[in-house]
Amino acid sequence: MPNTNLNSVSTCAPLDSLDKRQLGRLALQIKEWGKALGFAQVGICDTDLTSQEPKLQAWLDAGYHGEMGYMANHGMMRARPQELHPGTLRVISVRMDYLPPEAGFATNLSDPNLGYISRYAGGRDYHKLIRNRLKKLGDQISAELQSLGFSQANSRPFVDSAPILERPLAQKAGIGWTGKHSLILNQNAGSWFFLGELLIDLALPVDLPIEEGCNTCVACIKACPTGAIVAPYVVDGRRCISYLTIELAGSIPEEFRTLMGNRIYGCDDCQLICPVNTQAPLTQEADFHIRNPLQQPELLSLFGWSEAEFLKLTEGSAIRRIGHKRWLRNLAVALGNAPAAPAILAALEARRSDAEVDDMVREHIDWAMRQQLAKQQAAKQNTASSTQAPSGTRKTERLIRSIRKGLPRDA
C-alpha cells in the first residue's frame, strides 16, 4: 500500500538515491501504466535539445510562425524543458492514436459540397483528455516511489499548447522518426497520433531513437496543396491550411483560397499520401470518433449554424476554439470553391447582411460570390475555365486516387 501520508515526507529517501536497478524497473512499470492509461507508446529521453536550437531559430527568423506569436515568445525555452519545469531530468513522451473508424477520407475530399475537417478534430478535444491521463501517470509514479520509501516525484504534464518542442523530444524517446512533413511517424503506427509529455525529476534510463524511414520518398512534399513543406522537414506555417483555417485570425490570403478546396478545419493531405500510414491503427478512444453533425457534413448546413448553434454543436471539441467568425470565414472559402449552385449563392447573399458577420467574414463571402458567379458564367459560355481544374484540385484528385488504392478501409 503506497504511503500517502504527507507528514512522512521528511523521512523519505531522496530521489537521487534510487539505484540503476530501481530506476530500470520503474521505467518498465511506467511503460505498462502508460499503456493501461490508453497511450499506445511510451518512451523516455533526456532534456538535451541543443542540436534543435539553431533549427528552431532559423524557422522563427524565416517568419514561418506567421501570427503564432506564442512560438517566438518564450525564446529558447521551447528547446529547454529543464527551464520550463526546473528540476526536470527526463521527459516521458507518449503517443495517443486518433484515427477514427469510418474516416471516409476519399468520400469527403471528392465531394466539394461537403466540408473536410481534420480527423484529429471530429471528436472530443484531446488536450484535457491527454493531460489528465498524464497527470494520473505522474500520480502513479509518485505513489510507487512512496511505497518504496522515497519522496514523491516532481512531474508536470504537457500537451500541445506548452512552449516545448514535442516532436524532437518524441524522436529522441524512440516514438518515431521525423518525416519530411515534419510530423513524427513510425512503421507500425503511421502518424495519426497526438503527442504528450510528462516532465519529471527522475534519472530514468533513456530509450534510443529509431532510424529515419522516409528514404527517397517525397510524396508529402509533392501532395501539399499550398506548397507549405518548403524543404524536407520544414513547414512554412503561413502556407499550411491548418494554420490558415485554425490559427490565423484575419483574412486568408487570396493565393491560398482556391487551393484550400473544401478543407474547412485543418488538413490531412500530407498524412493521407504517406505510404507509412496505410496500416496505421484506429484509435482506442471512443472520444475521438467523429461526432454526428461533423460526419461528412454539408457545407450549406454548417454555414447555416448561428453562433449559438455553433457553440452548442461544437461543445467539448477543439473546433470551438476558433469561434464562429473564423468558422464562417472558412466555410465561405469552401463555398466559393464548390460547383456553381443557386442555393449556394442565395446562402452567401443571405449571410452577407447578417448581424453575426463582420467585415473580415463579409470580404470572404464577397470573394465566394465572385467565384460562384464566375463559374456560373463560365458554365453558360462553356469556356475552358469551367472544365479545367486548378492545380490544387488536380493534386486533390491524385490524392483521392491514392487513398482509394491504398486505404480502401477508409475511402
Q: Which residues are catalytic?
A: 160
Residues 101-130 that bind ligand B12 (CB under 6 A): 118, 120
Position 193 contacts ligand B12 (CB under 6 A): yes
Coil, strand, or helix at residue 115? coil
Number of Cβ within a 10 Å radius of residue 260: 22
- With CB under 6 A as the contact rule, the residue among 92, 141, 145, 159 that binds ligand B12 is 159
Pick the closer one to ligand B12 by CB: 48 or 349: 48
Question: What's the closest the beta carbon of residue 68 comes to ligand SF4, in angstroms?
Answer: 14
Confirm whether residue 329 is marked as ligand binding. no
Q: What does residue 134 show for φ and ψ, rounded to 5 degrees? A: -65, -35
From residue 40 to residue 59, the character string flagging contacts with ligand B12 as x (rule: CB under 6 A) and all else as - is: ------------x--xx--x
CA distance 371 to 49: 47
Question: What's the closest the beta carbon of residue 285 comes to ligand SF4, in angstroms?
Answer: 22
Pick the closer one to ligand SF4 by CB: 82 or 251: 251
The CA dihedral of 168, 169, 172, 178, to the nearest 10 degrees, is -30
Number of Cβ within a 10 Å radius of residue 149: 12
Q: Helices 359-381 and 342-352 meet at what angle, rounded to 10?
A: 160
- Burial (0-12, 13-18, 19+ Cβ within 10 Å), 393: middle
CA distance 139 to 43: 18
Coil, strand, or helix at residue 231? strand
Position 178 contacts ligand B12 (CB under 6 A): yes
Number of Cβ within a 10 Å radius of residue 40: 17
Position 39 contacts ligand B12 (CB under 6 A): no
Which residues contact ligand SF4 (rule: CB under 6 A)?
179-181, 185, 214, 217-220, 224-226, 228-229, 235, 240-242, 267, 269-270, 273-276
Question: What's the closest the beta carbon of residue 26 comes to ligand SF4, in angstroms?
Answer: 34
Coil, strand, or helix at residue 11? helix
Question: What's the closest the beta carbon of residue 239 comes to ligand SF4, in angstroms?
Answer: 7
User: Among candidates 267, 247, 249, 248, which has minimal Cα distance to 259?
Assistant: 267
- With CB under 6 A as the contact rule, the residue among 146, 186, 191, 337 that binds ligand B12 is 191
Q: Are 223 and 49 in contact (CB under 8 A)?
A: no
Confirm whether residue 45 is marked as ligand binding. no
> In the numeric block, which cell numbers belong to residue 343?
442555393
Alpha helix ranges (H) inside 148-289: 166-172, 219-223, 241-242, 254-260, 269-272
Position 266 contacts ligand B12 (CB under 6 A): yes
Which range touches ligand B12 (CB under 6 A), out of 38-46, 102-110, 260-268, 351-359? 260-268
Which amino acid makes up residue 188?
Answer: N
- With CB under 6 A as the contact rule, the residue among 44, 106, 200, 270 that binds ligand B12 is 270
- With CB under 6 A as the contact rule, the residue among 139, 160, 356, 363 that binds ligand B12 is 160
The CA dihedral of 246, 332, 296, 270, to the nearest 10 degrees, is -50
Position 157 contacts ligand B12 (CB under 6 A): no
447573399: which residue's cell? Answer: 349
Which positions make up the binding site for cob(II)alamin?
78, 160, 178, 184, 195, 242, 267-268
The site for ligand B12 (CB under 6 A) is made up of 52, 55-56, 59, 68, 71, 118, 120, 159-160, 164-168, 178, 181-184, 191, 193-195, 233-235, 237, 240, 242-243, 247, 266-268, 270
Which positions make up the binding site?
78, 160, 178, 184, 195, 214, 217, 220, 224, 240, 242, 267-268, 270, 274, 325
Which positions make up the binding site for [4Fe-4S] cluster?
214, 217, 220, 224, 240, 267, 270, 274
